[in-house]
Amino acid sequence: MKKNVPYVYDIPQLLTLRELLERSAERYAELPAFAVSAAGEVEEISYADFYADVAALATYLQDLGLTGKKIGLIGKNCYGWALSYFAVTAGCGVIVPFDKEYKAGELVGLAADAEIAAILYAPDQAEKLSDLPESVLRIPFDSFPNCIEAGTQLMEGGDPRWASYRIDPHALGVLIYTSGTTGVAKGVMLSQYNICADLCGVLRVFHVTTDDRTLSVLPMHHTYECLAGFLCPLASGASIAFNGSIRTIQADFARYQPTVFVAVPLLLEKLHGKIVGKYAAMKGGPAILAAQRALARANPRSARKIFSAVHRVFGGRLRAIICGAAALSPEVYRDLETFGIAIYNGYGLTETAPVLMVHRDSYRCATDVGPALPGVIARLDEPNEEGVGELIVRGPNIMLGYYRNPAATAEVIRDGWFHTGDLARFDPKTGAYAIVGRCKTMIVTKNGKKIFPEEIEYYISQSPYAAECMAFGMAGKDGDVKVAVSVYPDEEALRAAGLDLGSEEDTAEIERLLREAVKEANRSLPVFKHISRLIIRREPFVKTTTQKIRRNAPENLVSAAESEDAHA
């Protein structure tokens, strides 16, 4: 870990994504912007070629009459997605990125709400578009070569529309529908200035160079991956490779050899578990791991050499992982740092474009999310005696508001402050914030005691037999609120113990193991936080695309309703 110092890199302010594209194309013209798999080989696409493709596709879209229109975008992470995003934002209209996991009905409803005039899409999404109005133009990614050729011909014939296109940095530029853990999706209106202010803030505390390459794994429609794994690299002359799927992630690490990786805790914890599991399977492996950890902690500069086998898993060049969207286990954080990989925790929301806090090259810590970005003003609203209050913020990255929903906007933006709905602590010595829970999910007992579900979940997750868990309040027989926890068991750990989650014969033993986890958690918690009820799930929780459990999803609550006699 490093000491926090008030140092920032000298990054000139960008106002629009068009400015980002033009500056990078001029500065890094012959450098690779993207690395893609073609016929089993890695093919690189230069910044100059990317710029030319964007300009041609934007001209083609304008020729279809889409200037100033809202244009939908749906599909997996790929060059076509990246090309679509910039063709619209830098040269045509307003982009509306949709989650590729949306079902047809959800997509149609949100497309209608957004009033899109066209949609750019991956071919595997075609079936979902059948119920869109006929007036919505459909342009698949696999038609882009023809579209680019047509746009190029228009430009060569003197079409001035790309060159003359102007962007208002403060107007609606990107409309994103939230995939939050509570409530229904709302359209978040971001200006290009919001996004550019945020990415410049990140680049002022996290250094990215032309030697860097990211592996894009998280969905790019989400602001976290879009900013940290897509826009920041492109603004810095770095290159981007796309992960085919979670199943091919190790092969993609080897193929593309990234230096930076944007991740969510669930993914990192699974990768960490596999690494530790390989040591456990070796003869004398646990002792070897313990010795290597001790050597690396005594001499951090040698960590990469000591853990060379671990680094080969990540392709051999990985230097940093940016982790956000939820809390990463401090134990996993510290272990990955011991392996010689710098971990940068961050925090933000779609409404804040998205980053508010992040670790920096001058400061990292396992138990917080770092100080506020340069330009962001943060404070705690009405902190309690423990120093916990709602985190509220101001800054150039705060959204314009919720699309066609002034009432919802007024609920979260009050007197110029955006209310995050998250509870946090502030450390005046480091200037860093620690997120401790959500206002809406906090459990409050009859005598006013406040319990954060995340704390309960942390202790339960220490059991090797708990893969996922969700803590919540449940009415007790005395009328007071009791802590309940719903757990989805770790099937791999159960199999290693000779148990099968689907076997009725093993039910009692699985329940015993999880009750032991509850007892162990209760030993670490004050009495008023003790878990009173255990619910064992047979299916994983329904999650958002950033792998956060949807706390209000009926599928995640039904087990609790059906298991009222399952006391801890």
CA distance 87 to 55: 7
Residue 356 above 60 pLDDT? yes
16 in Cβ contact with 192 (< 8 Å): yes
C-beta of residue 141 within 8 angstroms of C-beta of residue 122: yes
What is the domain extent for residue 26? 17-167
Query: In the structure, what pLDDT confidence band is assigned to residue 558 with cuts at 50, 70 and 90?
Result: low
Query: Which of 221-225, 372-376, 477-481, 534-538 has the weakest average pLDDT?
Result: 477-481
| Distance of alpha carbon 252 from alpha carbon 315, whole angstroms | 8
CA–CA dist 414, 410 (Å, integer): 6
**540: Cβ contacts below 8 Å, ≥ 6 apart:** 467, 468, 488
| Spatial strand order in the sheet of 481-489 | 466-475, 481-489, 531-536
User: For position 565, what pLDDT does the model report?
Assistant: 39
Q: Which of 103-107, 146-150, 223-227, 554-558 shows the highest mean pLDDT?
A: 146-150
The total domain count for the chain is 2
Residue 498 lies in a domain: yes
Does the pLDDT value for residue 143 go beyond 60?
yes
Q: Let me know if residue 122 belongs to a domain.
A: yes
**CATH number of the CATH domain containing 535:** 3.30.300.30
Task: Identify the pLDDT of residue 458.
Answer: 79
pLDDT: which is higher, 165 or 521: 165
Mean pLDDT of the chain: 89
Question: What's the average model confidence in pLDDT over 40-46?
Answer: 91
Please give the share of the chain, as a percent, with pLDDT higher than 70. Answer: 92
For residue 89, pLDDT beyond 90: yes
Kindly tell me if the per-residue pLDDT of 566 is higher than 60.
no
For 167-186, the three-class secondary structure string (H helix, E strand, C coil) is CCCCCEEEEEECCCCCCCCC
Q: Is residue 44 part of a domain?
A: yes
Predicted pLDDT of residue 445:
67
Whether 249 is in a domain gets the answer: no
Distances (CA, A) of 413 to 19, 27, 37, 311, 424: 29, 39, 44, 44, 18
Peptide bond into 354 cis (omega under 30): yes
Among residues 105, 134, 167, the one where a domain terminates is 167
Assess if residue 180 is contained within a domain: no
Which pLDDT band, with edges at 50, 70 and 90, does 83 fall under? very high
And the tokens for 179? 């995939």
Return d(Cα 266, Cα 268) in angstroms, integer: 6
Residue 53 sits in a domain whose CATH number is 3.40.50.980
106 pLDDT band, cuts 50/70/90, is confident
When pLDDT is cut at 50, 70 and 90, the band that residue 28 belongs to is very high
Range name among 85-89, 112-116, 262-266 with the lowest pLDDT average: 262-266
Q: What is the mean pLDDT of residues 377-388?
A: 90
- Single out the residue in 167, 188, 223 at which a domain terminates: 167
Percent of the chain with pLDDT over 90: 60
Specify the amino acid at residue 374: P
pLDDT digits (tens, 9 = 90+) for 178-215: 865 444 678 999 999 999 999 999 999 999 999 999 99
Whether 79 is in a domain gets the answer: yes
Residue 446 has pLDDT above 50, yes or no: yes
Q: What is the mean pLDDT of residues 301-307?
A: 92
pLDDT at 179: 61
Query: Is 366 within a domain?
Result: no
Residue 413: which of 443, 430, 438, 393 has the closest Cα? 393
Any domain includes 287: no
Q: Which two tokens stand for residue 128?
A: 């979902």
Q: How confident is the model at residue 264 (pLDDT cuts 50, 70, 90)?
A: confident
For 410, the 3-state DSSP assignment is helix
pLDDT in tens, 481-523: 788 888 999 888 888 888 888 888 888 888 898 999 898 888 8
Helix (H) / strand (E) containing 337: helix 330-338
| Domain termination site, one of 129, 150, 167 | 167
Q: What is the dihedral of CA 187, 115, 197, 352, to 10 degrees?
A: 0
Burial of 364 (0-12, 13-18, 19+ CB in 10 A): buried
* Model confidence at 129: pLDDT above 50: yes
